[in-house]
Amino acid sequence: MVGVYNHPEAAKICYLALYAMQHRGQESAGIASHDGKRLHLHKGQGLVSDVFAPADLETLPGSRAIGHVRYSTTGSSTVHNAQPLRANYRGGHIAVAHNGNLTNADELAKRLEASGAIFQSTTDSELLVHLLAQNRSEDFVEALRASLKQVRGAYSITMLRDSEMIVFKDPLGFRPLCMGKLRNGGYIVASESCALDIAGAQFLREIKPGEAVLFRGDDVDKFQLLQAQEQHFCVFELIYYSRPDSIAAGGSSIYKFRKRLGEEMAREHPVEADVVIAVPDSSNPAAAGYAAASGIPLETGLIRSHYVGRTFIQPTQDLRDFGAKMKYNPVREVLKDRRVVVVDDSIVRGTTAKKIVAMIRDSGAREVHFRVSAPPWKHPCFYGIDTPDDDDLLANQMSIEEMARWMGVDSLGFISLEGLMNAMPKTLGYCTTCFTGNYPEGRPRRNTKLMNADGVTTAQDHIAAGVWTPGE
Amino acid sequence: MVGVYNHPEAAKICYLALYAMQHRGQESAGIASHDGKRLHLHKGQGLVSDVFAPADLETLPGSRAIGHVRYSTTGSSTVHNAQPLRANYRGGHIAVAHNGNLTNADELAKRLEASGAIFQSTTDSELLVHLLAQNRSEDFVEALRASLKQVRGAYSITMLRDSEMIVFKDPLGFRPLCMGKLRNGGYIVASESCALDIAGAQFLREIKPGEAVLFRGDDVDKFQLLQAQEQHFCVFELIYYSRPDSIAAGGSSIYKFRKRLGEEMAREHPVEADVVIAVPDSSNPAAAGYAAASGIPLETGLIRSHYVGRTFIQPTQDLRDFGAKMKYNPVREVLKDRRVVVVDDSIVRGTTAKKIVAMIRDSGAREVHFRVSAPPWKHPCFYGIDTPDDDDLLANQMSIEEMARWMGVDSLGFISLEGLMNAMPKTLGYCTTCFTGNYPEGRPRRNTKLMNADGVTTAQDHIAAGVWTPGE
Amino acid sequence: MVGVYNHPEAAKICYLALYAMQHRGQESAGIASHDGKRLHLHKGQGLVSDVFAPADLETLPGSRAIGHVRYSTTGSSTVHNAQPLRANYRGGHIAVAHNGNLTNADELAKRLEASGAIFQSTTDSELLVHLLAQNRSEDFVEALRASLKQVRGAYSITMLRDSEMIVFKDPLGFRPLCMGKLRNGGYIVASESCALDIAGAQFLREIKPGEAVLFRGDDVDKFQLLQAQEQHFCVFELIYYSRPDSIAAGGSSIYKFRKRLGEEMAREHPVEADVVIAVPDSSNPAAAGYAAASGIPLETGLIRSHYVGRTFIQPTQDLRDFGAKMKYNPVREVLKDRRVVVVDDSIVRGTTAKKIVAMIRDSGAREVHFRVSAPPWKHPCFYGIDTPDDDDLLANQMSIEEMARWMGVDSLGFISLEGLMNAMPKTLGYCTTCFTGNYPEGRPRRNTKLMNADGVTTAQDHIAAGVWTPGE
Amino acid sequence: MVGVYNHPEAAKICYLALYAMQHRGQESAGIASHDGKRLHLHKGQGLVSDVFAPADLETLPGSRAIGHVRYSTTGSSTVHNAQPLRANYRGGHIAVAHNGNLTNADELAKRLEASGAIFQSTTDSELLVHLLAQNRSEDFVEALRASLKQVRGAYSITMLRDSEMIVFKDPLGFRPLCMGKLRNGGYIVASESCALDIAGAQFLREIKPGEAVLFRGDDVDKFQLLQAQEQHFCVFELIYYSRPDSIAAGGSSIYKFRKRLGEEMAREHPVEADVVIAVPDSSNPAAAGYAAASGIPLETGLIRSHYVGRTFIQPTQDLRDFGAKMKYNPVREVLKDRRVVVVDDSIVRGTTAKKIVAMIRDSGAREVHFRVSAPPWKHPCFYGIDTPDDDDLLANQMSIEEMARWMGVDSLGFISLEGLMNAMPKTLGYCTTCFTGNYPEGRPRRNTKLMNADGVTTAQDHIAAGVWTPGE
């Protein structure tokens, strides 16, 4: 998610920023711009480079723009659910990009339907626009505040209106959002600081829980839109999701933090071994940390193909199991006859980890010791990270010993929650619900997730039955 | 517009029907189907054959379906405005296809906005769904009736809901809608009878002003949804818009009617000449009638390319004026040294007619007499035919004499309104507002037309500022 | 096929010309241009408007260009077979567009293979380039003459080389080729005069059998490349294939000629009837002639959809037989209770004709009398018209009486060969082999046809086993 | 390049293998298969995943298949130059995939032209097919041997004929080619062993210089097609080009070798520094080696975006220099106030290296020491690696000192040729021409390179003037 204000090439900067944040969503991409007269929108299914042809950026004039990349959840992969959302209402035309998930969407949807609302998408983000439209206040900020008071869950949002752009975070501050200054004096807000880098912008600071920044004319008003609560910054942004060259949590390097996790693991789960290898690319820093702290040499034991994820073949016969191999290939000489420590950054379902272990053993490794730079993931996330149900989370179903046996490893170690928190930058409070099950507002009802899982087929403009209809 | 009820291949029949009615809209096409559990939708920009690949029809299961083709108005050529519209609301999921134009859209939009509605498209058709959603009645037909009472203008509509399909016409019955029986016992409704022919259906009858037909389970309930008023069936459907093999106005052949117009013109505007030619293809029947009544031989003086309308070239230099030639080419031997009567079915801006006249003169014609099988078109239509503003209607700006001089013809004759009405089937009342300026409910405010003219560029998913914002 | 010489927008004129001649080939289209330094080529599968996007014409600079549209024969629908062909050889770079068919292709292919030639396409046109490449003469025209002496069959060809364009016809002059002067003084050659019209060119004359025109610098040299033989101009160009607004056979109007055929038929096969109808659009002139000569009124009894040929649907159940209806729909009121004369311009397999007759009877016609403005088509063409094998030609398999019974008509009349020849312009000699079986050079061996029927699937760049391998 | 013999899913295995070797060519991809009756071919521009849709593999039946990916050279990016090439000639149908470059292409082309050959592509690979076609021997292997005796340069080739597949290497063995056994008993040959891994095949051995393997029926005949000469295996395959998980040069791990290069560099060019970083991904192993041997810690100082290379934007204003940032982003905390050793695997033009250095300095590095795990690249390659002309090779134009100054580094060290050769597996002889200028057969004339540089625009089917015309 990105917003650019007061730059003559606002849409192009959004494009570059989305490109830098492509890892945050490969399902769809979109940019809305405003040229003072009209709101322009272009969005579609696919990668940023697929959705935007050169001519498309030309159709997005204006000095302010917002953009979004969405990631692939189970369903709802339709162009109608791509963001930014656009709507016309009493207050004019508005475009909205939303990172996060509302947890009381069911309840809101029922209430809005009763009052006569009609829905075009199956995203929770649309609900917020309805709340805004039904508010009677003439003051936009007041209407927004009143609307948000009805909403629960995680949201970092950018909105583009006729003459202004507003960005804000929910009161618990689940998801990241930072702000930078462009070389020409304009502003950029983005989910990650790597988007500021590509635009040559100077990092200013992160947006705080409940805070809003309103860009209007030449003014930049920062104020508390909602009363901040204890921060619950998503710990997985640091562990896995954000790019390592981004900074977060009060200006800390994510790369450095991940390396510290590896060091902590080496202390918590030492083992005698010949070589440390990472599951590339995201676990590289943690593996480096483990190697440094343990003194065991770090080698490249697995090569990752960077063309992965773009194939379709369904072979029969001899070609079974080629899937994991399309992504990873072992470097045999590194593994043969060695005692190998494999460092990964998380275990969700465990299926890929199991295949990697088999691959390493097939390469002749004598022992395989698996180390995970996150605590056991036991509880689904309702705040913006796509996770399977409880039943599909390996750590929810097995003890660590059972997991080790099932994966076929000689030892298995997860970093402790305490160790994790010790390694974390102390500037923020964190959401660790996925490890603890302590949902900050109580565990949301499961059907809320249907918001993003309506079983729609993925063809362009393919739209099937919706989501929150009470009777369904 | 088409609806199919109780046929295992409902979507395929819709496809064929839209194909047969492609002349009614080349801008976008769409089909929604319902399989008892879900509402499915596929729509896009372009011809029916462009929008639907073989696999797309497979994604539209169910025994009931509705479809639509929209024509190219000045703007709003976006996939969001393609029909059928789909929405979720309190009453469930609904798909709507609408032929016609609402005349109080501005007023409705303002009222709906005030009550908190948000709009996704810039079509007047969306307004109707909002009215329906805001209605409190538990009875769908009552809610629909109450909603329609707030609406003015022209509409023939098909709606698809979970278990039922409903079709209805506005109280003045502007636009066509007929009903047929499929061979398997199911039903089809369509704008034109040629769509029934291609599906092998038996023509039953036309829907009457204010009438609705509700298909539910095995029942077909016909009833007066709104009180009928004096019918204003669009006279241009007969003169120009419908296919000549369709029947309308109580079962009359459109081909025969157009031929009668030619005969009437021969009586009203006789001339001594050597040959009668048509501006193909739509004027062929009128030309045949003129020839038959006048005794002047009918020949093919202009050949029309059927690949026309699919080019883009912008040549400089010597290639000017190739545009009209890409559509029409004269048959010189028919025209050379002859006194030629050219029969056309309407003059809107007059630019094409002028070029045709020049082409005929270049081929060596001695005299050119132009005959038009419609009265002078002086007033814009607000009821579903795309027309330019008053200033761009040639007959609004010039007398017949001035037109003749400007076009470069030796004589110019339009059928009289009286002659036209004499030739019309007597079964219906007609809307002749485009000739008389007598708007049945008073002339609508011009900005209503903005509904279909929001200046949006035509790229897929390209959406710009909307329409009915009061301040615009 | 078209060639343009000495015009700054040569490729654009080719584009327009191909557009006007789209009826001559819908399978593939291509243009090659030369800018004095390089030969440029763009070609692909599909209609002219599909193959050429705006930017594509920009990639074809230069003041000389040639182009081609190919029609769909049974196989070989691959981009490798699209024309113009391009090749590099000792004489430089050359592009070739060929209308017609060589009849000794098998023999040539075997001989060339033996001498070491390799083939990239499965078209007979490539053979000619090989002959040229193997010729030792330094003089291009001499090399061409020597090469053509080895070739038999039908060819009208345009070739583009570095500094020159050459066009020529085979010694029997099977296929059309005419020449015109552009407004700027440049030249255009094309298969049909309608291509000259769209370019605003002045018709000069047709190329004669065995004649060549060589455009070099500012020179236009016309000379006899090969000794002319008795002309065998394809009679089907006049009966059916060419556009009615083209002129052929010494400047005669094709429309007029077709009308004379109708008049002749009325004399040869009179019948008492109420109405004459055409199978539109190609039979319209003949129907008009029949009506004029017989005094029976001409009406439009069948409406032809101009979107036809672009669908794919394969319906089961009730939708059988929709195929013919997608192309034609009857005007019932014209046919009901009438004795109908249907005029068509040819019967090949007879299947469409049979369906049309059924359609007319279903509409309530009392009698159906079928009249064909060509003699019975009994023998396959080897000179450029795509025809089925002997066994699939209805007239080859049945007597006229049997055909009438099979088609379900009350009477069936073909124009006599004598009547046809009487109606023909007397300026040329004609090829009537398809009616008589008198092949001018003896009947070619059937496998020659394989040249254009290699069973290749139609996917872009899909190429399968070839053609003239001796052992096959 | 890949070939599969005797596997029911031969084309699918080729697809997987090409996917694994995508780094060897992103320009075009293609597969040819033979089902005993016909040769099938599918090829196109783009990545393997772009060129092959699921249905395309279905059109490639048969138990033997060959495939190729080509990389982007300056020109000739046309579908006609995509491989495999297909041709028909006296010997039947043949498909050819060629990795490498012929050095006497000009001379061969002239000779072939003189004898009457015509060329369809602008690749040197086509020349070989011509030589084969012109050979009179009835024995295919004899004809091939005689043809190859006329050819000089680098080639690893797979050929598919009716009933057989043959693979072979040039006598100096420039380019890699290895052979493996599929689980079902069939065979696979491929440029790199990573392609064998993805297919689950067992590595057998590398093909030797001048050796051929002929697969016919159930026979696998290995024989010396041409007399082997001193091997000149491309050293750049080991340094940079091959995947690190491939093995080469007698079964050596490429990863291990690259690490040894880093160690050697640490010995040759030691420096006092705080951190070693790699230019990811290809330099990671060398950087690890440098760190290990020097004792300086290895960190991740640059993050590489894996979506790079797929954008087009041309920004003005503030967005200059975003290009390098789209590919690399620094991790500031790793670089700030540090003395940094940057390890790269080669310097060609030097422009990217210069930008990386600036990026590192901007991040606050105190010193930047650049180490290159290849000797200075001074001479263009004519044997299959795409290189710029002498003038564009930085090391050809500047001394090491000048380069250091131009790049803005505190020190610059290249591995010595001696050091490189010490680190190389001793099993093979190597081509080091790019460092030494000792071309094994004398330096080829420059115009040979035109073969792959004909200035053709990249549009599909866009073909311009060719290549080896003598006069050009």
What's the rounded Cα separation, in Å, for the pair D329 and A33?
A: 27
Q: Calculate the average pLDDT of chain D.
A: 87
Side chain identity at residue C2, one-letter code: V
- Find the CB nearest B200 among C22, C305, C318: C318
Contacts of D457 in chain C (CB under 8 A): 59
Return the number of CB contacts < 8 Å for C and D. Answer: 133
How far CA A26 is from CA of A71, A99, B67, C352, in Å, comes to 5, 14, 32, 51
C-alpha distance from B295 to closest chain A C-alpha (Å)? 56
Side chain identity at residue B146, one-letter code: A
pTM (2 d.p.): 0.86
Contact C82, C45 (CB under 8 A): yes
| Neighbour tally for D171: CB within 10 Å | 23
Check D329 against A194: CB less than 8 A apart. Answer: yes
What's the rounded Cα separation, in Å, for the pair C47 and B458?
A: 23
- Phi, then psi, of C374 in degrees rounded to 5: -140, 150
Contact C34, C92 (CB under 8 A): no
- By the CB < 8 Å criterion, does B298 face chain C? yes
Listing from the earlier edge strand, what are the strands of the sheet with D92-99? D85-89, D92-99, D156-160, D164-169, D211-216, D219-224
What's the confidence (pLDDT) of residue D183?
A: 92
What's the rounded Cα separation, in Å, for the pair B200 and C170?
A: 50
Nearest to B461 by CA among D33, A78, A443, A251: A78
Question: What is the C-alpha R_g of chain A?
Answer: 23
What's the rounded Cα separation, in Å, for the pair B74 and B70?
A: 12
C-alpha distance from A7 to closest chain B C-alpha (Å)? 20
Q: Which residues pair with C88 in a beta bridge?
A: C93, D119
Listing from the earlier edge strand, what are the strands of the sheet with D339-344? D275-278, D339-344, D367-372, D411-414
Check D194 against A329: CB less than 8 A apart. Answer: yes
Question: What is the C-alpha R_g of chain D?
Answer: 23
Contact D193, D203 (CB under 8 A): yes
| Neighbour tally for B37: CB within 10 Å | 12
- By the CB < 8 Å criterion, does C64 face chain D? no
- Mean pLDDT, residues B225-240 taken together: 94
What's the confidence (pLDDT) of residue B124?
A: 85
pLDDT tens string C93-115: 999 999 999 999 889 999 999 99
- Mean pLDDT, residues B224-238 taken together: 95
Domains of chain D: 2-232 (3.60.20.10), 257-424 (3.40.50.2020)
Nearest to A43 by CA among B469, B451, B80, B123: B80
Rounded to the nearest 10 degrees, how much is the dihedral formed by the CA atoms of D210, D214, D219, D224?
Answer: -20
What's the rounded Cα separation, in Å, for the pair C246 and C254?
A: 6
A472 confidence band (pLDDT: 50, 70, 90): very low
pLDDT tens string A381-410: 999 888 888 999 999 999 999 999 999 999
Check D253 against A331: CB less than 8 A apart. Answer: yes
Side chain identity at residue A283, one-letter code: S
What's the confidence (pLDDT) of residue B305?
A: 84
C-alpha distance from D187 to closest chain A C-alpha (Å)? 13
pLDDT tens string B121-160: 778 888 999 999 999 898 999 999 999 999 999 999 999 9
**Contact residues, A window 103-132, toward B, CB-based 8 Å cutoff:** 113-120, 122, 129-130
Beta strands in B290-359 (DSSP E): 302-304, 328-330, 339-344
Name which residue leads in pLDDT, D378 or A75: D378
Contact A199, A15 (CB under 8 A): no
- Mean pLDDT, residues B262-274 taken together: 97
C-alpha distance from D452 to closest chain C C-alpha (Å)? 15
A365 confidence band (pLDDT: 50, 70, 90): very high
Token output for C228: 């002319």
Check B469 against A92: CB less than 8 A apart. Answer: yes
Name the residue of chain D whose CA is nearest to A246's CA: D331
Check A317 against D8: CB less than 8 A apart. Answer: yes
What's the rounded Cα separation, in Å, for the pair B463 and B81?
A: 10
- Mean pLDDT, residues B447-462 taken together: 31
- Find the CB nearest B255 among C244, C285, C300: C300
| Neighbour tally for C405: CB within 10 Å | 12
Token output for C221: 């040299």
- By the CB < 8 Å criterion, does A451 face chain B? no
- Mean pLDDT, residues D111-123 taken together: 87
Q: Give which of C318, C327, C332 to mutate to test B binding, by max B Cβ within 10 Å.
A: C318
Contact C41, C93 (CB under 8 A): no
pLDDT tens string C49-68: 888 887 788 889 999 999 99
C-alpha distance from D316 to closest chain A C-alpha (Å)? 8
What's the confidence (pLDDT) of residue A273?
A: 98
- Find the CB nearest B284 among C300, C312, C333: C300
Non-local CB neighbours of C377 within 8 Å, separated by 6+ positions? C346, C347, C348, C387, C393, C394, C395, C396, C434, C435
Q: Which residues pair with B343 in a beta bridge?
A: B278, B371
- Phi, then psi, of B172 in degrees rounded to 5: -95, -10
Non-local CB neighbours of B87 within 8 Å, separated by 6+ positions? A118, A119, A120, B93, B94, B96, B126, B129, B133
Q: Which ipTM did the prediction report?
A: 0.87
C-alpha distance from B115 to closest chain C C-alpha (Å)? 45
Q: Give which of D96, D120, D150 to mutate to test C binding, by max C Cβ within 10 Å.
A: D120
**Strand D164-169 to strand D92-99: parallel, antiparallel, or no bridges (unpaired)?**
unpaired
pLDDT at B86 over 70: yes
- Find the CB nearest D465 among C38, C114, C469: C38
What's the confidence (pLDDT) of residue A121?
A: 78
Q: Is D358 helix (H, G, I), strand (E, B) or coil?
A: helix
What's the rounded Cα separation, in Å, for the pair A169 and A176?
A: 8
- Find the CB nearest D333 among A9, A256, A325: A256
What's the rounded Cα separation, in Å, for the pair A373 and A343?
A: 7
Rounded to the nearest 10 degrees, how much is the dihedral formed by the CA atoms of B422, B428, B433, B435?
Answer: -20
Contact C67, C119 (CB under 8 A): no
Q: Calculate the average pLDDT of chain B.
A: 87
- Mean pLDDT, residues C333-347 taken together: 96
What's the rounded Cα separation, in Å, for the pair C417 and C398?
A: 18
What's the confidence (pLDDT) of residue A321?
A: 58
Contact C79, D461 (CB under 8 A): yes
Most confident of A359-368, B307-316, C303-312: A359-368
Length of chain A: 472
Non-local CB neighbours of D34 within 8 Å, separated by 6+ positions? D40, D62, D64, D65, D95, D160, D161, D162
Widest pairwise Cα distance in chain C: 73
| Neighbour tally for D327: CB within 10 Å | 19
Check C113 against D130: CB less than 8 A apart. Answer: no
b/e map of D445-466 (b: 16 or more CB within 10 Å)?
eeebbbbbebebeebbbbbbbb
Check A40 against B463: CB less than 8 A apart. Answer: yes
Contact A384, A343 (CB under 8 A): no
What's the confidence (pLDDT) of residue B251?
A: 77
What's the confidence (pLDDT) of residue D317?
A: 47
C-alpha distance from D192 to closest chain A C-alpha (Å)? 13
Check C461 against D135: CB less than 8 A apart. Answer: no
Name the residue of chain D whose CA is nearest to C143's CA: D116
Contacts of A7 in chain D (CB under 8 A): 318
pLDDT at C311 over 60: no
What's the rounded Cα separation, in Å, for the pair C352 and C354?
A: 5
Contact B420, B235 (CB under 8 A): yes
What's the rounded Cα separation, in Å, for the pair B142 and B148?
A: 10
The burial of B344, by beta-carbon neighbours within 10 Å (0-12 exposed, 13-18 middle, 19 or more buried), is given as: buried
b/e map of C234-268 (b: 16 or more CB within 10 Å)?
bbbbbbbbbbbbbbbbeebbbbbbbbbbbbbbbee
**Contact residues, B window 173-192, toward C, CB-based 8 Å cutoff:** 182-184
pLDDT at C465 over 50: no
Non-local CB neighbours of D149 within 8 Å, separated by 6+ positions? D226
HSE-CB for C256 with a 13 A CA cutoff: 16
